[in-house]
Each structure stands twice: as structure tokens, then as C-alpha cells.
């Protein structure tokens, strides 16, 4: 990942979104830029035009936290965008470890697997920063059954490269935008992560929609919310989701879905659980038959 290019494009994209009226500045004469001028951002941030120009050209090396805070206020960054700016600054001041192999991701801890498997009536899965699903309970596999047709299952590859995703997610545009925003955040945190760069490169090459959204430089972090699904077996569902980062495992997140009690979505979730149990039984029976066993 080219950090300087990322910094430059991100700052320009945020500057373009703000009008002089938004920040109480007079809009005199004909303007050649859609948003604020560089000089206006510099004034709002309390730095010289030359210094802001240096930052917008991608050089955040040595920039202090106070300047970053002032810049975030001037550009009216939200919390996620502010954190993204700080991540870009940290990456600008870090050096890649040439000649040293990137450490492999550690195996999922048994205690984490027990947490996921223990949620019998709620879909739950563990993902990494590339949106690979590393572990999932049976209900999560049933919910994302089409995504799990390929191993390892990857949420973004399914959203952008599998045409069934547009049916599975009735609000596909929002899901797609949020997924790209998550990868944008992770790319800033891990600019030398080759696997992450390869995933982004593949999506840019194979999906026009991803390439367009990637160019918008929006960022997103999953915390909690509501997501709509149209499952191929049980139909429409509206589920709440909570995303919980694992403090001891950087880049790993547990996502859990639930339905409000007494709703059609709760009924659909129960129906899906029954269907998932039937699927597991059929697989076990087929495996036993393959080994010469018999069904009881």
C-alpha cells in the first residue's frame, strides 16, 4: 500500500466535502474546487499553507498529535475518520521490516471457539481484518450458507463477486459501502500487510463496484446495528448485530446476530436453526455411509 498516496487522496476527499458556508467562511469569487481551498483548511487548522500543502501531498512524517487534532477539527472528521487519520500518521512514521516474513496468523484459541459454539440460538462467527471468517457456529454457517460454499469464506469476496449477494442483502449498497470502509481502515493500520493488499487488488480488478467505492475513501468500523437478509431457505430476516474486538488478538472480531423476541425474524431464525440441524445430520449420515456405516 502506498501510504503517501493514501494520505493525499484521503485529505483531498475530506476537503472536497466541506463548503465555505459549512465552516462560516465567505465564498468570494469563482471557485475552482468543490470544497475548501488548501489555504482555508490551513487557516482553520492554525498552520501555514505550506505546512498543510506538505501534509496533503502525503507527508505526515513528524506531524504532532496537536496538529492532527486541529486538522481533524478543520475537516470535520467523525471519530472513525479521525482514527483513520491517526493510523495513516502512525504508518507514515513506521518502517517496513524488510527481509522478515510476515508472521502467520495464530490459530483460533479454544476458549474463543467455545464462546462461539456456546451461542446455540444466535449466529456467531470470528473474522480477521481481511474479512475472512475463521470460525463460525452452525447457525452462522446456515445464515451465510452461500458465502461458505467457498473456503475460506470471505465476506467482501461474497458481497462483490457473487451475484447472489444482491438478493441475500436487500440493502446491498449499504453493506458494500460499509465493507469497503472496513478494508480502508485496515489498510491504513496495516500498510505492509501483503495478504490484505492482495485482497484489495483482486477486488479492484474484478469488481467495478468495489473500485468505485474504494475511490471514495470513506471509512467504516463495525460496532453494532441492524442488518436485513433474504435467506435462500427461510426468507426475510432483520437481525441485530454486535461486533466485539478481541483485545488479546489484534485484528480478530467476533460478530453475533440476534432477533427481537416475538418477531417474524425470530421465527425465521428458529426455522433456520431446524434447517441447519437437518443439514448437519445429512452430512454426518453421508460421511458415515462413505465409511461403510449405516443410518440408525
Predicted confidence at residue 222, as pLDDT, reads: 85
pLDDT band at 263 (very low <50, low <70, confident <90, very high): very high
CA 229 to chain CA centroid, nearest Å: 18
Return d(Cα 119, Cα 82) in angstroms, integer: 34
Q: Tell me the residue length of the chain.
A: 296
Q: 123, exposed or middle or buried, with CB in 10 Å at 0-12, 13-18, 19+?
A: buried
Q: Is 199 left (phi over 0), alpha (psi -120 to 50) or beta?
A: alpha
Structural domains present in the chain: 3-92 (1.10.260.40), 110-289 (3.30.450.180)
Which contiguous run of DSSP H or E holds residue 241? strand 235-245
Of the ranges 25-39, 106-120, 224-238, 259-273, which one carries the lowest mean pLDDT score?
Answer: 25-39
Predicted confidence at residue 278, as pLDDT, reads: 85
Tell me the average pLDDT of the chain. Answer: 87
Residue 120 scores a pLDDT above 70: yes
Torsion angles phi and psi, residue 73, rounded to 5: -65, -40
Q: Is 290 or 71 the better-scoring residue by pLDDT?
A: 71
pLDDT band at 152 (very low <50, low <70, confident <90, very high): confident
Residue 75 scores a pLDDT above 90: yes
Of the ranges 11-15, 21-25, 60-64, 164-168, which one carries the lowest mean pLDDT score?
Answer: 21-25
Predicted confidence at residue 288, as pLDDT, reads: 62
Distances (CA, A) of 271 to 123, 274, 296: 13, 5, 25
Q: What is the pLDDT averaged over residues 245-251?
A: 83
Residue 99 scores a pLDDT above 50: no
- Show the cell assigned to 92: 507514515
Predicted confidence at residue 29, as pLDDT, reads: 63
Name the residue with cell 443439514.
Answer: 279
Amino acid at each position: 500500500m502506498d501510504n503517501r498516496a493514501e494520505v493525499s487522496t484521503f485529505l483531498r476527499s475530506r476537503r472536497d466535502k466541506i463548503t465555505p458556508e459549512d465552516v462560516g467562511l465567505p465564498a468570494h469569487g469563482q471557485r475552482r474546487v468543490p470544497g475548501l481551498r488548501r489555504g482555508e483548511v490551513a487557516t482553520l487548522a492554525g498552520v501555514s499553507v505550506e505546512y498543510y500543502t506538505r501534509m496533503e501531498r502525503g507527508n505526515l512524517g513528524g506531524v504532532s498529535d496537536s496538529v492532527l487534532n486541529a486538522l481533524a477539527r478543520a475537516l470535520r472528521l467523525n471519530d472513525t475518520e479521525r482514527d483513520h487519520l491517526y493510523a495513516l500518521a502512525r504508518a507514515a512514521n513506521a518502517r517496513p521490516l524488510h527481509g522478515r516474513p510476515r508472521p502467520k496468523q495464530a490459530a483460533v484459541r479454544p476458549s474463543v471457539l467455545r464462546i462461539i459454539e456456546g451461542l446455540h440460538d444466535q449466529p456467531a462467527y470470528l473474522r480477521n481484518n481481511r474479512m475472512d471468517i475463521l470460525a463460525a457456529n452452525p447457525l452462522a454457517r446456515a445464515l451465510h450458507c452461500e458465502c461458505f460454499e467457498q473456503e475460506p469464506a470471505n465476506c467482501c469476496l461474497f458481497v462483490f463477486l457473487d451475484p447472489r449477494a444482491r438478493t441475500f442483502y436487500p440493502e446491498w449498497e449499504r453493506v458494500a459501502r460499509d465493507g469497503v470502509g472496513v478494508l480502508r481502515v485496515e489498510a491504513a493500520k496495516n500498510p505492509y500487510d501483503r495478504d490484505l493488499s492482495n485482497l484489495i487488488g483482486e477486488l479492484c480488478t474484478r469488481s467495478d463496484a468495489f473500485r468505485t467505492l474504494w475511490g471514495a475513501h470513506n471509512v467504516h468500523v463495525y460496532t453494532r446495528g441492524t442488518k436485513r437478509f433474504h435467506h435462500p431457505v427461510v426468507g426475510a430476516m432483520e437481525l441485530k448485530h454486535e461486533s466485539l474486538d478481541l483485545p488479546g488478538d489484534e485484528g480478530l472480531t467476533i460478530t453475533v446476530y440476534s432477533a427481537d423476541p416475538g418477531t417474524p425474524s425470530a421465527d425465521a431464525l428458529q426455522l433456520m436453526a431446524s434447517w441447519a440441524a437437518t443439514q448437519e445430520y445429512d452430512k454426518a449420515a453421508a460421511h458415515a455411509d462413505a465409511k461403510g456405516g449405516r443410518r440408525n
